């Protein structure tokens, strides 16, 4: 059997099984695909594919289904990821462009990915550890209270209100000077490096004003410290219930695993390499976390700040999922980097 014909038969089996969820026989292959060979040749090719561990018989019927190894070969031999149509790309852009803030971007992205792929969509919030400071705003809010607003390059905003121990009603110049000094030191700096640079701000102000500067430095440090824990958002878990036959004994385990955000973050971190042009696919037993070994995970990175992707059964429309994940990652990166 030639490699090209073997791949043609395997590709046809994968496509039919993904579409119908029914084991695929040689007769169906000949009816649905122009393979250009006889029924006997297709049966022989299927037997050889089974010997190679690429397809298997789920029961005593004549039909065969792909194995994890079969899906892997199918994905690896995709000549390219088929781009979405112009209409699909326009719809994605319009939907995401309507977002009003970072939370809305994340919520819209997961809903969109779930809708496009009919899988569970997962998105990691932009990682502060890989982000930079865009701007720090200081706003007196009455008495001795000062609001400190940290704006990150990804659009993420954190704020704290602190009591600086003195009335700021007549301290506009002090607040303006601190704002200027803080941004001069930390704007454009990696968030992980910002706290140490605040020491220079404290040292540079008049000794009488240092308690205020120390309060600002402490609040910024707390904001960064509290946000070191990464966050993920899910959408479309109900899609798994619609394909419950793909998880005859493991659906509850998969759902439990999806609730463990630490697991998802590790999974995303391990798979999201490169940028929005690169799509990573982990199939079945390739997933290190046992409860997810009946699933496949398709992910990509948006910019350098985080990852997004979909989780679903191994009987997944891989070309569609990969194209959708790649396209959405591109648009999210444009929005957050813009």
Q: Six-digit token pair at 268?
A: 């995303």
Strand ranges of the sheet holding 306-313, from the earlier edge strand across to the other edge: 232-235, 120-124, 306-313, 295-302, 280-283
Do 86-127+230-337 and 130-226 share a fold? no
**How many whole angstroms separate alpha carbon 111 and alpha carbon 149?**
29
State whether the Cα torsion 53-241-329-134 is positive or negative: negative
Q: For residue 30, which phi and psi values (nearest 5 degrees)?
A: -70, -35
- Quickly list H helices, 123-278: 172-186, 194-204, 210-226, 238-242, 251-259, 261-271
Fold classified for 130-226: Enolase-like; domain 1 (3.30.390)
CATH number for the domain whose boundaries are 86-127+230-337: 3.30.450.40
**How many whole angstroms separate alpha carbon 252 and alpha carbon 55?**
26
Beta-sheet strands, E only, within the chain: 55-56, 65-66, 120-124, 133-140, 145-152, 157-163, 232-235, 280-283, 295-302, 306-313
Q: Write down the pTM of the prediction.
A: 0.78
Q: Which residues contact 110 (CB under 8 A, 6 or more apart)?
A: 121, 122, 123, 233, 234, 235, 236, 308
**How many whole angstroms separate alpha carbon 215 and alpha carbon 209?**
10
Q: Which of 311, 246, 309, 326 is nearest to 66 (CA)?
A: 246
Give the tens place of pLDDT for each residue, 76-105.
998 677 778 888 888 898 898 888 888 899
The answer on pLDDT for 335 being more than 60 is: yes
309 in Cβ contact with 325 (< 8 Å): yes
3-state DSSP assignment of residue 167: coil
Q: Which residues contact 38 (CB under 8 A, 6 or more apart)?
A: none
Structural domain spans, the chain: 3-76, 86-127+230-337, 130-226
Looking at the DSSP assignment, which residues form a beta bridge with residue 122? 234, 309
What CATH number matches the domain at 3-76, 1.10.3210.10, 3.30.750.24, 1.10.10.10, 1.25.40.10? 1.10.10.10
3-state DSSP assignment of residue 333: helix
Give the tens place of pLDDT for each residue, 2-57.
678 888 999 999 999 999 999 999 888 988 888 888 888 888 999 999 999 999 99
Give the tens place of pLDDT for each residue, 106-165.
999 999 999 999 999 999 887 766 678 889 999 999 889 999 998 887 777 888 899 998
């Amino acid at each position: 059997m030639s490699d090209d014909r073997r791949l043609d038969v395997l590709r046809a089996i994968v496509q039919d099984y993904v579409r119908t969820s029914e084991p695929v026989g040689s007769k169906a292959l000949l009816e649905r695909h122009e393979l250009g060979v006889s029924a006997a040749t297709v049966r022989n090719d299927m037997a050889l594919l089974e010997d190679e561990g690429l397809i298997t018989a789920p029961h005593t019927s004549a039909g065969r289904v792909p194995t994890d190894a079969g899906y892997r070969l199918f994905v690896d031999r995709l000549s390219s990821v088929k781009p979405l149509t112009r209409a699909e790309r326009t719809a994605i852009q319009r939907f995401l462009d309507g977002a009003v803030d970072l939370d809305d971007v994340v919520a819209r992205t997961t809903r969109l990915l779930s809708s496009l792929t009919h899988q569970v969509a997962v998105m990691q919030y932009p990682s502060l550890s890989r982000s930079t400071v865009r701007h720090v705003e200081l706003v007196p809010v009455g008495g001795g209270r000062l609001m400190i607003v940290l704006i990150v390059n990804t659009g993420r905003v954190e704020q704290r209100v602190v009591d600086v121990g003195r009335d700021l009603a007549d301290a506009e110049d002090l607040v303006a000077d601190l704002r200027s000094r803080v941004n001069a030191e930390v704007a454009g700096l990696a968030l992980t490096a910002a706290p140490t640079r605040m020491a220079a701000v404290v040292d540079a102000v008049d000794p009488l004003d240092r308690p205020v500067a120390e309060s600002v430095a402490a609040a910024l440090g707390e904001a960064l410290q509290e946000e070191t824990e990464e966050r993920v958002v899910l959408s479309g878990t109900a899609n798994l219930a619609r394909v419950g036959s793909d998880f005859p004994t493991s659906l509850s385990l998969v759902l439990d695993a999806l609730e463990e955000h630490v697991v998802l973050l590790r999974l995303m971190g391990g798979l999201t390499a490169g940028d929005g042009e690169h799509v990573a696919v982990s199939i079945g037993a390739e997933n290190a976390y046992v409860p997810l070994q009946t699933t496949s995970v398709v992910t990509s990175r948006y910019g350098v700040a985080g990852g997004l992707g979909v989780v679903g059964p191994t009987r997944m429309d891989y070309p569609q999922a990969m194209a959708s994940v790649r396209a959405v990652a591109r648009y999210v990166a444009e929005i957050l980097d813009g």
